[in-house]
Amino acid sequence: MNILLLVLTWLVTAVSFVIISKIPIGVEIDNFNKALISAAVFGILNVLLRGVLEVVTLPAEVIFSGFLVTLVINAIIFGLSAWLVEGFRLRWGVWSALLGSMALSIVNELLVKILPIV
C-alpha cells in the first residue's frame, strides 16, 4: 500500500471521527488529536482483529445475514477503540458502538467519494 494513501485514509478517518462526534449518537471525542489517535487505533485493530473475528463468527454468518455479523464485528472494533483511547467515549455503550460504527462507515464513504482519494 502506498504510504501517501495510508496517511490520507488515516486523516479521512480522523475527520470522520470528529464529524460523528458532533452527531447526537453518544460518541464523544475530546479533540482532533484524540481523533487522530482513535483513527490509528481503529485502523490497527481493524487489520489485526477483523480476520480473526470473521473466522470466529463464520457459523453465525452462515445462519444469519452476513451484513448483521459484519455490523457486530465493526461495533466490536469501534468499542475496543473507544476503550483503548482516553478521550474517546461511548456514552450509551453498545448502542453508541453500533451507531458509531454505522456512522463511521457512511461518513468515511462520503468523504472518500468527495475527496479525490483512490
pLDDT score at 50:
79
pLDDT score at 33:
96
Residue 73 has pLDDT above 60, yes or no: yes
Can you spell out the DSSP letters for the chain?
Answer: --HHHHHHHHHHHHHHHHHHHHSSSSEEE-SHHHHHHHHHHHHHHHHHHHHHHHHHTHHHHHHS-HHHHHHHHHHHHHHHHHHHSTTEEETTTHHHHHHHHHHHHHHHHHHHHHTT--
Higher-confidence residue of 51 and 49: namely 49
The answer to whether the beta carbons of residues 111 and 8 sit under 8 Å apart is no
**pTM: predicted TM-score of the whole model, two decimal places:** 0.87
| Average pLDDT over the chain, rounded to an integer | 89
pLDDT score at 87:
95
pLDDT score at 100:
95
Give me the mean pLDDT over the 36-49 stretch: 93
- Kindly give, in sequence order, each residue whose CB lies less than 8 Å from that of residue 91, ignoring residues fewer than 6 positions away: 26, 27, 28
pLDDT score at 19:
96
Distance, C-alpha 43 to centroid of its chain: 8
pLDDT score at 117:
67
Q: Retrieve residue 65's grid coordinates.
A: 445475514
Least confident of 10-14, 24-28, 62-66: 62-66
Residue 26 has pLDDT above 80, yes or no: yes
